[in-house]
Amino acid sequence: MNVDVAVRCDNLVHVYGTPGAEVAALRGVDLVVKEGETVALLGPSGAGKTTLLWHLAGLLKPTAGAVEVAGKRLATLSAAELAVLRVREIGVVLQNPGRNLLPYDTAIGNLLFAQRPTRRSGAAKRRRAHALLDSVGLGGAATRRAGRLSGGEQQRLAVAVALANSPGLLLADEPTSQLDPVSAAAVIDLIRAANEESGTTVVAVSHDAAVGAALGRTVTIRDGRVGSEGRSGEDYVVVGRDGTVQLPPEMLDTLPPGTLARAVRHDHGVDLRRIYDAGESQ
Ligand SMILES: Nc1ncnc2c1ncn2[C@@H]1O[C@H](COP(=O)(O)OP(=O)(O)OP(=O)(O)O)[C@@H](O)[C@H]1O
Ligand SMILES: [Mg+2]
């Protein structure tokens, strides 16, 4: 067991639906996230980002392949063991902000409820709750019901709730999608502080360039697979376990789908040389 690996997906496949009406949302995802890493999951709508995040949160069962979180293979855990792992180790912000909250409880009540499993004193829980509310600009909304907050306010509260117990792993699905740039920056700062101060590993789905820029690594999902990765401002394609490579979309004008190309090996890699254009008679 590799203790410094926070998340591992091995050939993860997820098919939704019933026989005859299947949707293959994940088609063999291989991904390793080390403890303390911060990763932005990017990719077009429908690519499988939310499905992947739900697997990491233990909310879906793989059709094939495996998911490991904090050294534990999720499919081998009982429902009770999975619940303990989720409460102790994982903070989750779902794509629909309202689904993360107790709508009839107040903002502060949601933060106190989230801290149930900790051994903090009541006063310490309150201090933590107020500090978190302040950090996301909701200091004045402590006693308002979560269900009455705006979508953006709910989203900020949901991130605060997910981080209330300083989880080992934060999974956030579009945590800034409903926020203006100032509120988004506050949420990004809070996530970065959790990473820097508590070592929280972060996997966040986002279309927001500011989130991508704030996190250490980007992983792009296309058609249910990891297509490319970005590290330190450079983009790299990922060779899948069956040898497939997804070309970056901006290169498809040079090699459009259907092009016949020759793969030519050389000292440092492989070149793709066009033989026939797509649709050209041979
Ligand atoms: N409950 C479901 N039943 C059937 N198909 C589903 C279900 N949830 C998602 N899908 C399908 O699985 C594929 C991946 O969906 P997913 O929600 O993971 O994409 P996404 O990358 O998060 O997209 P978005 O950026 O729009 O949120 C899509 O084709 C979607 O229609
Ligand atoms: Mg989604």
The DSSP secondary-structure symbol of 246 reads P
49 lines ligand 1 (CB under 6 A): yes
* Strand positions, DSSP E, the chain: 5-16, 23-34, 38-42, 64-69, 72-73, 90-93, 169-173, 201-205, 217-222, 225-231, 234-237, 260-266, 269-276
Cβ-proximal residues to 18 (8 Å cutoff; 6+ apart), any chain: none
Supply the pLDDT for residue 280.
65
Residue with CA at minimum distance from ligand 1 atom 16:
48
* Ligand in nearest proximity to the CA of 43: 1
For residue range 173-217, list pLDDT tens digits in order. Answer: 999 999 999 999 999 999 999 999 999 999 999 988 888 889 989
51 lines ligand 1 (CB under 6 A): yes
Q: Which residue in 146, 153, 78 sits closest to 113, CA to CA?
A: 146
Query: Which pTM does this prediction carry?
Result: 0.91
* Ligand in nearest proximity to the CA of 63: 1
Instruction: Catalogue all structural domains in the chain, each as residue range(s) with its CATH number.
Output: 5-246 (3.40.50.300), 249-282 (no CATH)
Confidence check: pLDDT of 72 > 80: yes
23 lines ligand 1 (CB under 6 A): yes
Distances 164 to 115, 122, 170, 245, 249 between C-alpha atoms, Å? 6, 14, 11, 40, 39
17 lines ligand 1 (CB under 6 A): yes
**246: CA distance to ligand 1 center in Å?**
20
Question: What's at 261, amino acid-wise?
Answer: A
- Give the tokens for residue 38: 């911060």
47 lines ligand 1 (CB under 6 A): yes
**235: CA distance to ligand 1 center in Å?**
25
Quick one: which atom of ligand 1 is closest to the CA of 221?
Answer: 21
Quick one: which atom of ligand 1 is closest to the CA of 52?
Answer: 18
Q: Which residue in 101, 116, 182 sits closest to 146, CA to CA?
A: 101
pLDDT band for 171, please (50, 70, 90 cuts).
Answer: very high
Alpha-carbon span 153 to 87, nearest angstrom: 23
For residue range 232-266, list pLDDT tens digits in order. Answer: 778 888 888 888 888 888 888 888 888 898 999 99
220 lines ligand 1 (CB under 6 A): no
45 lines ligand 1 (CB under 6 A): yes
